[in-house]
Amino acid sequence: MYIIVVGGGKVGYNLTKILLAERHEVLLVEKDPVRYAKLSEELGETVIFGDGAELDTLKAMGTNRADVLVAATDSDEDNLIICQMAKIVYFIPKTIARVNDPKNEEVMQILGIDVTVNSTRIINTLIEEKVDSGMLIPLLSLKGGDVEIVKTDLSKIAPVVNQSVMKIQLPKDCILIAIIREKAVIIPKGDTILKAGDTIIAILPPVSREQFRELFF
């Protein structure tokens, strides 16, 4: 499957790494020259320099043969434009847009974006609905292999209790994205200490699911 990811920030970068590990053909597009230079050092020809909101860049990316386009920039307006052009001009089968402001999600859906991903709404749902431990919440479904958001409550006997994030040997391609502690959302850093009862939210491929649970539950 050929997947285009527009936006080389943390979301786009981490998604690209996971998709590459799943053996998809992936192209990451970044318009900031400094960020592009850094990404290209690590990912090589997987990264190209350009503005995904411009038709010339979409043409250069080979959008006409892409199966999926993911607009993962930090601008909801850009993400909407990118997905709409991919749909209207290149008839791309599936578009996925990152939504940074929850207020824009409904508008994007009305305007034809196939899938919107709003991490704020997902985290809020987990807080309010008290989802059971170990439940898997799908983030993306990409035919050949899923990328999932996993939520579990950290048990008292979990191996990672009272450890800092930097000392934990996470499963391959697993990324911690949030910790919920007494209804406060904590963005994990290297020195963040995990405590029993924390709600851990991570993004990972399905093959790492059981290894994740062994560490955190």
DSSP assignment of 91-152: --SEEEEE-SSGGGHHHHHHTT-SEEE-HHHHHHHHHHHTPPTT-EEEEE--SS--EEEEEE
Walk me through the domains of the chain, giving residue ranges and CATH numbers.
Answer: 2-117 (3.40.50.720), 122-216 (3.30.70.1450)
Q: Is the pTM of this model over 0.85?
A: no
> Which of the pair, 217 or 11, is modelled with greater confidence?
11
Position 65, amino acid: R
Which has the minimum average pLDDT: 31-45, 49-63, 121-135? 121-135
Would strands 47-49 and 184-186 be described as parallel, antiparallel, or unpaired? unpaired
User: Does 139 score more than 50 pLDDT?
Assistant: no
Mean pLDDT of 123-146: 47
pLDDT (tens digit per residue) in 76-105: 999 999 999 998 898 888 898 888 887 888
pLDDT of residue 121: 60
Q: Give the least confident one: 85-89, 127-131, 200-204.
A: 127-131
Share of the chain above pLDDT 70, in %: 87
Asked if 71 contacts 52 with a C-beta cutoff of 8 angstroms, the reply is yes
Q: Residue 130: left (phi > 0), alpha (psi -120 to 50), or beta?
A: left
* Region of poorest pLDDT, from 113-122, 153-162, 199-208: 113-122
pLDDT higher than threshold 90 for residue 36: yes
